[in-house]
Structure 1
Amino acid sequence: MGADEEPAEVFADLARDLCTLGADGVARRVTAVAPGLVPGCEDAAICLLDRHGGVVPAAATSERAALADRLQHEAGEGLCLTAIRGVARTAPDLLGNDGGPIAEATGIRCMLGVPLVAGTDLLGALTLSCGTPYAFDARAVTTARILASHAAVALAGAAARRRGAELAEALQSSRVIGMALGVVMAQRRLTPEQAFDLLRRASQRQGRKVREVAADVVETGQVPVGARVR
């Protein structure tokens, strides 16, 4: 097998692995493979955007990589945040620009930041680092972009699966609650609003979710003991 074929095999194996993982698993897997895949890379970190637009550290291969990202977030600037805004950039030598404090605190001299983009959605940033200045050449940048693309597609897939699971759970909860309401309405001759209020107060009294109380009603055919309508 030629050297040029090895990255292709790694990416193929990676794609198969990532399609089964959640967001945290994707972040850990991608950062773990980066040092052996991207020329010059010694450490890697991933930060993701949450549903409210906040930046959340997701994975890092070392404490110094995590610290480098944290220092950038605290300062409100840096290569990681630039990547999260959608711009890939390399800092060849942190001591030669505004990255001096990071270099002094972590020993990192060279960094590469790549956005994680799926379609038009910015999901986060992949940050690669090395203790040697000028570590990332054009080949490293290209490989990092490919790795970031794999990560972004996998993250988008994980998010879609999560939304699907949440929707399925919500639909199932609605069906169960609807069936329980029918039982309560029939037994107590209540309106839908009164029946739901009865289930809600029963759930508060028992310290359980409404869906759980409703499931008991559907299974047993019995209204919760002591349940009364206001």
Structure 2
Amino acid sequence: MRGMAGYRLLVDDRKVGALNLFSDTVGAFDEAAGDTGALLAAFATAALTSASDHDRAETLTRGLESNREIGVAVGLLMAAHGITSDQAFGVMRRLSSE
């Protein structure tokens, strides 16, 4: 290895990886190569940010769906047993841990 350049990849201000470039040619990393590496790192960061945002959106969607199901279950317990929402939620919490 006769040349190397490294670029940090950040998503939401946290390091998630690096783009490391290596060369067998001395002096291969001139200013133009450095600019090209920075551009590649920017595209990689954009792709990683998009993937992270997609994962976050899916997690929030699953949470909302789960919350709706919990709300339905609480309502059914309230209607069936004549209890408050807090009591119904307590029943569900207790049963889920048993």
Q: TM-score, normalised by structure 2?
A: 0.80
Q: Cα 1:131–1:178, aligned 2, differ >3 Å: closer, same or farther?
A: same
The letter for the 2-side match of 1:141 is G
SS at the partner of 2:6?
strand
SS at the partner of 1:136?
coil
Q: TM-score, normalised by structure 1?
A: 0.38
Which of the residues 53, 61, 65 maps onto 1:172? Answer: 65
1:204 aligns with 2:68: no
Offset, 1:194: 1.4
Residue correspondences, number = 96
Aligned to 2:50: 157
The letter for the 2-side match of 1:163 is R
Aligned to 1:112: 5
1:189 aligns with 2:94: no
Offset, 1:141: 1.2
- Measured on the aligned residues, the alpha-carbon RMSD in Å equals 2.1
Task: Flag the structure with higher helix content.
Answer: 2
The letter for the 2-side match of 1:196 is F
Query: Following the alignment from structure 1 to structure 2, what is the Cα–Cα distance between the partners of residues 182 and 122?
Result: 42
The letter for the 2-side match of 1:140 is A
Runs of 4+ in structure 1 deviating by more than 4 angstroms, as ranges, are none
Query: Following the alignment from structure 2 to structure 1, what is the Cα–Cα distance between the partners of residues 2 and 88?
Result: 65
Structure 1 segments unaligned to the other structure (5+ residues): 1-107, 206-230
Q: Percent identity?
A: 40
Query: Following the alignment from structure 1 to structure 2, what is the Cα–Cα distance between the partners of residues 133 and 197?
Result: 69
1:1-230 correspondence runs (5 A): 108-116=1-9, 121-124=12-15, 125-205=18-98
Query: Following the alignment from structure 1 to structure 2, what is the Cα–Cα distance between the partners of residues 112 and 146?
Result: 13
Query: Following the alignment from structure 1 to structure 2, what is the Cα–Cα distance between the partners of residues 143 and 126?
Result: 12
Kindly indicate whether structure 1 or structure 2 has the higher relative contact order, using CA contacts under 8 Å at least 6 residues apart. 2
Query: Following the alignment from structure 2 to structure 1, what is the Cα–Cα distance between the partners of residues 72 and 10?
Result: 43
